[in-house]
């Protein structure tokens, strides 16, 4: 698989595309285009991403486990099978109280220029 992204026209199990790392966070970019990125994350218990913001909307889809998200100071408990939008330029953080896997979809806004 070039660049570690997923191959076209092939059915893949999301959870099997990434493995947990003990006391760590693993990530794998599944697709990257000018319109956005698709990144798979695996968090061990107690791991997370400190507060930050991004210039693009982000969608979190929890595949396994549970994540505690803080979005603009508001706690959001996201469990397996749920989806949460994190708006652009809004501070957010992620914490895994138990081992968890998530798919992160970054949506870039594309501006078309008139000729």
CATH number at residue 65: 2.60.120.10
Instruction: Identify the three-state secondary structure at position 95.
Output: strand
Give yes or no for a contact between 63 and 19, defined as CB atoms under 8 angstroms apart.
no
pLDDT at 108: 87
In a domain, 4, yes or no: no
Q: Quote the pLDDT of residue 109.
A: 73
What pLDDT score was predicted for residue 89? 95
> In this predicted model, what pLDDT tens digit does every residue of 18-51 receive, in sequence order?
999 999 999 999 999 988 999 999 999 999 999 9
pLDDT of residue 2 exceeding 50: no
Q: Which residues contact 97 (CB under 8 A, 6 or more apart)?
A: 45, 46, 66, 68
Domain presence at residue 10:
no
d(CA 49, CA 1): 27
6 occurs within a structural domain: no
Q: What is the mean pLDDT of residues 60-86?
A: 98
What is the domain extent for residue 94? 17-107
pTM listed for this prediction: 0.87
In a domain, 95, yes or no: yes
Please report the pLDDT score of residue 112 as a whole number.
Answer: 59
* Domain annotation covers residue 3: no
pLDDT band at residue 75 using 50, 70 and 90 as cut-offs: very high
Domain for residue 115, yes or no? no
Residue 56 lies in a domain: yes
Residue 71 lies in a domain: yes
pLDDT at 67 over 50: yes
What does the mean pLDDT of the chain come to? 92
Res 90 pLDDT > 70: yes
Domain count, the chain: 1
């Amino acid at each position: 698989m070039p660049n570690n992204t997923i191959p076209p026209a092939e059915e893949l199990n999301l959870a099997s595309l990434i493995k947990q790392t003990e006391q760590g966070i693993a990530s794998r970019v599944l697709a990257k285009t000018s319109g956005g990125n698709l990144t798979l994350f695996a968090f061990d218990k107690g791991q997370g991403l400190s507060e930050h913001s991004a210039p693009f909307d982000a969608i979190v889809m929890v595949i396994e486990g549970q994540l505690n998200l803080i979005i603009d100071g508001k706690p959001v408990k996201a469990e397996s099978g749920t989806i949460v939008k994190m708006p652009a330029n809004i501070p957010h953080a992620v914490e895994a109280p138990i081992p968890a896997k998530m798919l992160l979809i970054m949506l870039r806004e594309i501006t078309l220029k008139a000729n």
